[in-house]
Amino acid sequence: MNLLRVFIKVIDAFNHGIGRIMTYGIFVMMGILLWSMITKFGDQPSLWTLEAAQFAMVAYFILGGPYALQMGSHVRMDLFYDNWSLKRKAITDAFTVICLLVYLLVLLWGAIGSTAYSLGYFGKEPVGFLAGLLTGSEETGSMERSRTIWRPYLWPIKVTLCVGIILMLLQALSELFKDVLRLRGEEV
């Protein structure tokens, strides 16, 4: 049980820090959109602003998600939930977190494949390819670019998606372990 507490403490602290940093991401997106508005009034519209704002929003959302989960900010049917006992809440939360973990694992598998594709890999073993990139045994191919006129590389946002999903998986495990401790009658 001490190992669970250490895991919870480390993951919660890490995701809390990332989440607090990402709260300022909304200002990055606002700055990009403000620049877009200014350049449109000056008859020199920037081609990159809309897509950059979309990338900023994806990073804000995906990296802020674990923090929102930790803070209990996701939607919940409080009409029923508030009146339940702590044990019933923990059982319900544990069940929903297990469903979330399954969903996140499927999402991560797709994100890994998409990231490998964006780095020029077209085979059937994207995990091995990405591991090979880290060890130096693989090289990138023809990297995927956006189809817009700006044509940015897509791998940075796809790597951000993978990182965000992994952080969300870890936070979901932390929440599951908190529920296990609550079911055992221990303080979290």
User: pLDDT value at position 42?
Assistant: 86
Instruction: Note whether residue 188 is domain-resident.
Output: no
Give the tens place of pLDDT for each residue, 12-21. Answer: 999 999 999 9
**Is the pLDDT score of 173 beyond 90?**
yes
> How far is 91 from 176, CA to CA, in rounded Å?
10
pLDDT band of residue 180 (cuts 50, 70, 90) is very high
Whether 67 maps to a domain, the answer reads yes
Q: How confident is the model at residue 62 (pLDDT cuts 50, 70, 90)?
A: very high
**How confident is the prediction for the chain on average, in pLDDT?**
94
- Does residue 159 lie within any of the structural domains? yes
Whether residue 95 has pLDDT greater than 80:
yes
Q: What is the C-alpha separation between 95 and 176, in angstroms, rounded?
A: 9
| Number of structural domains found in the chain | 1
Residue 77 has pLDDT above 80, yes or no: no
User: What domain range is 8 assigned to?
Assistant: 2-183
Tell me what pLDDT residue 1 has. 79
Residue 59: pLDDT above 80?
Answer: yes
Mean pLDDT of 29-58: 91
- The four Cα atoms 114, 116, 117, 120 give a dihedral, to 10 degrees, of 160
Residue 50 inside a domain? The answer is: yes
- Lowest-confidence region among 26-35, 41-50, 172-181: 41-50
In a domain, residue 134? The reply is yes
